[in-house]
Every structure is written in C-alpha cells, then in structure tokens.
Amino acid sequence: VPVWLDVNVGMNRTGSPPGAWEHARDRLPAARHVSIVGLHGYDGHLTWDQREQAHVGYDALCRLARALPRPPRWIVTSGTHSYAHALAHAGLADGPWVHQVSPGTILLSDLRSHEAARDLGLQQGAFVASRVVSTPCPDRVTLDAGSKAVSPDRPAPNCRVLGHPELEPQRPSEEHLPLQVRAGTMAPAPGTVLWLVPEHVCTTVNLYRRALWLRGDAIVGEGAVEAMSHPLWADDPTSR
C-alpha cells in the first residue's frame, strides 16, 4: 500500500510532528505491505518574509525523509506564501526525491498574494463586480457585496476597491459593504460599478456558481466554477 505521511511542520493543523513519525519508523519494518512514497508538509501559516521559520520546518522534513528505511519518492510542501522559501532550500532540492510545491491561491491571486504574483510576473486575475446601492451619509457609500460576496473568512477590510484607494471598506454585513469615503474626495454616485479585489480569493470564488471571463472592458466568455460548494454525497456527481 503506497502511503503518504502528513507532517506537521509548524502549522498545527494536520499531520504529526517529524519526531512522532521518526518514532513510528521503528515499527515500519513490521508493516510489510506499507511503502512510504511521499511526505507532505504544508506551511500555510507562514508569510512571504518568514524564510527562516520555513527553513526550520524543511530541515526537519529532510531529516525525517533521510531517517526512513527508504527515502520517499516525493516531498510536497508550501503554498503561495512560502513556495519561494521552499524552492530556495538546498536540502529539499538535493535529495533523492522529487520536491514539489503546491501553491493554489496564486492562480487567481488576491491581496495577500501580491508579492508572490510579482515574483512570478502574474497579475490579479479575479474581481468581484459590485454596485453602489446606497449613500446613507455624506462620507459613506454602500455596495451590494457583503460577506456573501467576498472573503467571508477575513476581518475588515476584507477587500480593496480597484483604482479607488480613497474608498475604505468597512465591516460587511451579509448583503452590504459600507465604504468610508476619504475627506476631500468625491463619493461615487448610486449605480456606479466598482471592482473589488478580495483579501482571500479562495473563499470568494467558492461563493459563485459562474464566472465571467473579461479581456479589457469586454466580456469574452463565461464558465462554471466547478469547485464551488460541496457535493452532498462523495460519489454523486449530480449534487455538484
């Protein structure tokens, strides 16, 4: 049975610490039908400037890989905010294994991943279109894009208004996002369309069944967001 070990490299979300797996190693020869083919260590808790902390985790991962009866064929680490740390780690690069990184956010990008996007020469790829639906007081306007429309898992401000740094997103309610209008600047009129850049794109795209493809100002197509929501039954494709 090919087996992957999930290694807790400091995120404390899933897996077991490298020491626990090393301890378990002594029982492995008894498990004749088990072959450890890969190690997985995801460090999604780290940021773009935490290389030192990231390398502590990768050092431990490499030590574990070399302590196994046979080195694994693969080591998988790192999402958008730490893939560059992993690719710069000599130990991960030098082993008899294939090292892969697994960034996902970078595909569409969001406010948190702009350093990674710059690093790869990518641009923000997903926006939420919203409209000014109310002007409740002189220094506020309200958009129709609340927590059901953008980054529901992030504290305020959970997005930015593209091209409008003078509009500061406040705490959203379910259907509404109030914007504070900076003193001395013009508030957008009711009906104005504004584009929002999500703080977290993964939890934003999950809110939509379909997406429009844009090139410049033109809509050039649309498609289903196939990864949205959860199927009710694991083996039922119709519940998607």
Ligand X SMILES: Cc1ncc(COP(=O)(O)O)c(C=O)c1O
Which of these segments, 76-84, 148-156, 166-174, 215-223, binds ligand X (CB under 6 A)? 76-84
Nearest approach, Cβ of 104 to ligand X (angstroms)?
4
Beta-carbon count within 10 A of 88 CB: 13
SS3 for the chain is CEEEEEECCCCCCCCECHHHHHHHHCCHHHCCCCEEEEEEECCCCCCCCCHHHHHHHHHHHHHHHHHCCCCCCEEEECCCCCHHHHHCCHHHHHCCCEEEECCCHHHCCCHHHHHHHHHHCCCCCCCEEEEEEEEEECCEEEECCCCCCCCCCCCCCCEEECCCCCEEECCCCCCCEEEEECCCCCCCCCCCEEEEEECCCHHHHCCCCEEEEEECCEEEEEEECCCCCCCCCCCCHHHC
Nearest approach, Cβ of 107 to ligand X (angstroms)?
8
Selected from 21, 42, 58, 127, the binder of ligand X by CB under 6 A is 42
Selected from 36, 39, 58, 80, the binder of ligand X by CB under 6 A is 80
Nearest approach, Cβ of 48 to ligand X (angstroms)?
11
Which of these segments, 73-81, 133-141, 170-178, 190-198, binds ligand X (CB under 6 A)? 73-81
Give the number of residues in contact with ligand X, rule: CB under 6 A: 11
Q: Which residue is nearest to ligand X (CB)?
A: 79
Counting contacts by CB under 6 A, is residue 125 touching ligand X?
Answer: no
Residue among 129 and 207 whose Cβ is closer to ligand X? 207
Selected from 17, 95, 103, 152, the binder of ligand X by CB under 6 A is 103
Nearest approach, Cβ of 184 to ligand X (angstroms)?
38
Counting contacts by CB under 6 A, is residue 101 touching ligand X?
Answer: no
Which of these segments, 55-63, 104-112, 181-189, 232-240, binds ligand X (CB under 6 A)? 104-112
Residue found under tokens 């039954």 = 233
Asked if residues 187 and 161 have their Cβ atoms less than 8 Å apart, the reply is: no
Backbone angles phi, psi at 156, to 5 degrees: -70, 145
Selected from 72, 79, 178, 198, the binder of ligand X by CB under 6 A is 79
Nearest approach, Cβ of 81 to ligand X (angstroms)?
6
- Interface positions with ligand X (CB under 6 A): 42, 44, 79-81, 102-106, 202
